[in-house]
């Protein structure tokens, strides 16, 4: 009988087509993962039996592996996560917040942070991002505005910051840490895209080293580990470790994958033995690629030009955020052309940019292929100007907490007819996965116009189905 496994077959086709990945996970189709590990993968897919320990009460090899990770990442304590950074964000928020507590979060936080609001019943105080309209990216934050919010909202219990952002751009994390602690608040850092920072002095400062209370990282994004492999670090005594452990157990599977746990353990081991040298090489190749990309007419690799602006203090050189606006084509169109005609797959695209994630698994071959493929876009250049979006809609007014809104009965309306209604859903463009509207917020006309603009240029938007949205009237 012929094989009938559509998902497996689709993944196998992607691999057999020879598509070169410039996206996560960081092992890049297993290039640098131990062959012995791959050969024994099915055999080590075990459960909690004598000798294998238990993630929910580690006392043996899992505990030892977590201690080695804490040392490698410069943390006081580290906890393996098999449900991704998402579950770490949930646990971190639940460990420090109670129903009704105020929490200061960046408006351009990942969806998991907003889900954390629903789970905890916390009330958000939003810190708006500083917008780089030229490149179409929500960048950093104003430290002065952050301090103003802390002064004006004395009941804020914790602050949750994203560092770096999806594109690799970084706020001044040490200054943020010092400020938050000055007001005696707990700082949680979503460092999903910065797990590799700990292994190079040529990359931005790791949030753990800066002194953040809780840091959550996706090992799989930038290090050689399997998808969903993440880690949570605790760095100060401000955190109730027992309460945190309770919520980690609550949000993680009761059948944690030993494959994912060993993947974290082996990624840490690789980085300590070989990864630092490979990461140094990756940084060198990334800098060289940046220079070559910037020499292509109509192309810009965003980096030094934004440091000192938009609240940005540093950037990850291995994240190549490439503006192709000057070619007269959109980022999403460029991503499609690169996949169909050059057989490379970018991490993501937006209106103006495409993004490549380079890791310790990449060598000269991968960098050369990327640069030559981007050069190949020149023949698709158009004598037209990509429309500049020189505004970002105001944050909608919150009518009710997200945790309350999701429990309300809903009506399905066309988004044009939903103006002044209360949204009961997220509206999130992917990428980068940052909500434009959250449950409990009033839908305004300017936001509807912005959503339709994104929708009409081909950006995938979760929360609207054929421009319909769930609302409470």
Give tens-digit pLDDT for 16-27: 999 999 999 999
Give tens-digit pLDDT for 145-182: 999 999 999 999 999 999 999 999 999 999 999 999 99
Residue 153, preceding bond cis, omega within 30 degrees? no
Separation CA 440–CA 205 (nearest Å): 36
CATH architecture of 277-380: Alpha-Beta Complex (3.90)
HEC string of 130-162 equals: CEECCCCEECCCCHHHHHHHHHHCCCEEEEEEE
Mean pLDDT score of the chain: 95
- Indicate whether 457 pLDDT > 80: no
Class of domain 35-268: alpha beta
Separation CA 368–CA 243 (nearest Å): 49
- pLDDT: is 300 or 111 the higher one? 300
Residue entry with tokens 């190749």: 285
The pLDDT of residue 433:
61
- pLDDT: is 385 or 221 the higher one? 221
In order of 138, 150, 162, 170, the CA distances from 147 in angstroms are 20, 5, 17, 18
- Indicate whether 228 pLDDT > 80: yes
The pLDDT of residue 254:
96
The pLDDT of residue 36:
95
Least confident window among 156-160, 220-224, 454-458, 459-463: 454-458
- Indicate whether 187 pLDDT > 90: yes
- pLDDT: is 444 or 473 the higher one? 444
Residue 279 confidence class, pLDDT cut points 50, 70, 90:
very high
By CB atoms closer than 10 A (0-12, 13-18, 19+), residue 328 is middle
Over residues 9-19, mean pLDDT: 96
By CB atoms closer than 10 A (0-12, 13-18, 19+), residue 383 is exposed
Q: Which residues, listed in sequence order, are joined to residue 186 by a DSSP beta bridge?
A: 158
Cβ partners under 8 Å of residue 450, min gap 6: 389, 391, 392, 393, 436
Q: Which of 143, 137, 84 is closest to 115 using CA atoms?
A: 84
The ranges assigned to domains in the chain are: 35-268, 277-380, 402-472
Give tens-digit pLDDT for 312-339: 999 999 999 999 999 999 898 999 999 9
Residue 459 CB coordination number (10 Å): 18
Question: pTM of the prediction?
Answer: 0.95
Percent of the chain with pLDDT over 70: 98
Backbone angles phi, psi at 313, to 5 degrees: -110, -25
Backbone angles phi, psi at 187, to 5 degrees: -110, 120
Task: For domain 402-472, say whether CATH 3.50.30.50 is its number.
Answer: no
Give tens-digit pLDDT for 53-83: 999 999 999 999 999 999 999 999 999 999 9
Give tens-digit pLDDT for 247-259: 999 999 999 999 9
Give tens-digit pLDDT for 381-408: 998 777 666 667 888 999 999 999 999 9
- Indicate whether 246 pLDDT > 70: yes
- Indicate whether 456 pLDDT > 90: no
By CB atoms closer than 10 A (0-12, 13-18, 19+), residue 51 is exposed
Cβ partners under 8 Å of residue 163, min gap 6: 170, 171, 173, 176, 189, 190, 191, 194, 207
Is 378 within 8 Å of 296 (Cβ atoms)?
Answer: yes
- Indicate whether 46 pLDDT > 70: yes
The pLDDT of residue 458:
74
The pLDDT of residue 455:
86
Count of alpha carbons within 13 angstroms of residue 368, beta-carbon side: 3
Residue 434 confidence class, pLDDT cut points 50, 70, 90:
confident
Residue 435 confidence class, pLDDT cut points 50, 70, 90:
confident
Residue 431 confidence class, pLDDT cut points 50, 70, 90:
low
Least confident window among 43-52, 383-392, 405-414: 383-392
The pLDDT of residue 332:
87
Query: How far does Cα 435 stand from its chain's mean position?
Result: 13
């Amino acid at each position: 009988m012929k094989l009938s496994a559509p998902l497996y077959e689709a993944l196998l086709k992607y691999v057999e087509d020879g598509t070169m990945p410039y996206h996560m996970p960081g092992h890049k189709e297993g290039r640098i993962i131990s062959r012995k590990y791959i050969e024994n993968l099915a055999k080590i897919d075990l459960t909690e039996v004598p000798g294998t320990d238990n993630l929910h009460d580690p006392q043996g090899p899992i505990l030892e592996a977590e201690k080695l990770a804490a040392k490698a990442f410069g943390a006081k304590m580290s906890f393996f996560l098999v449900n991704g950074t998402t579950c770490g964000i949930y646990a971190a928020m639940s460990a420090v917040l109670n129903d009704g507590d105020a929490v200061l979060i960046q408006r351009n936080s990942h969806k998991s942070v907003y889900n954390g609001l629903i789970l905890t019943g916390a009330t958000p105080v939003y810190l708006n991002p500083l917008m780089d309209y030229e490149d179409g990216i929500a960048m950093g934050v104003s430290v002065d505005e952050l301090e103003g919010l802390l002064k004006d909202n004395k009941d804020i219990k914790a602050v949750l910051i994203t560092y770096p952002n999806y594109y690799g751009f970084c706020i001044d994390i040490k200054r943020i840490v010092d400020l938050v602690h000055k007001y005696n608040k707990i700082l949680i850092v979503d460092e999903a895209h910065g797990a590799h920072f700990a292994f190079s002095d040529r990359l931005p400062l790791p949030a753990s080293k800066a002194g953040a209370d809780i840091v959550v990282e996706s090992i799989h994004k930038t290090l050689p580990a399997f998808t969903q492999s993440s880690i949570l670090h605790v760095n100060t005594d401000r955190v109730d470790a027992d309460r945190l452990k309770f919520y980690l157990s609550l949000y993680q599977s009761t059948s944690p994958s030993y494959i994912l746990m060993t993947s974290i353990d082996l990624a840490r081991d690789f980085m300590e033995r070989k990864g630092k040298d490979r990461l140094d090489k990756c940084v060198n190749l990334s800098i060289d690629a940046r220079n070559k990309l910037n020499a292509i007419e109509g192309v810009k690799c965003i980096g030094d030009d934004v440091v000192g602006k938009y609240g940005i203090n540093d950037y990850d050189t291995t994240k190549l955020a490439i503006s192709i606006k000057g070619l007269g084509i959109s980022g999403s169109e460029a991503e499609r052309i690169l996949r169909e005609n050059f057989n490379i797959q970018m991490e993501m695209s937006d209106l103006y940019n495409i993004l490549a994630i380079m890791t310790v698994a990449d060598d000269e071959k991968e960098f050369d292929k990327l640069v030559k493929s981007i050069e190949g876009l020149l023949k698709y250049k158009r004598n037209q100007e990509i429309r500049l979006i020189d505004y970002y809609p105001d944050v909608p007014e919150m009518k009710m907490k997200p945790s309350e809104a999701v429990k309300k009965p809903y009506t399905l309306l066309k988004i044009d007819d939903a103006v002044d209604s209360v949204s009961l859903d997220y509206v999130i463009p992917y990428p980068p996965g940052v909500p434009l509207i959250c449950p409990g917020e009033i839908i305004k006309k300017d936001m509807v116009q912005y959503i339709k603009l994104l929708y009409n240029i081909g950006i995938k938007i979760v929360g609207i189905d054929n421009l319909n949205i769930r609302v409470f009237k």
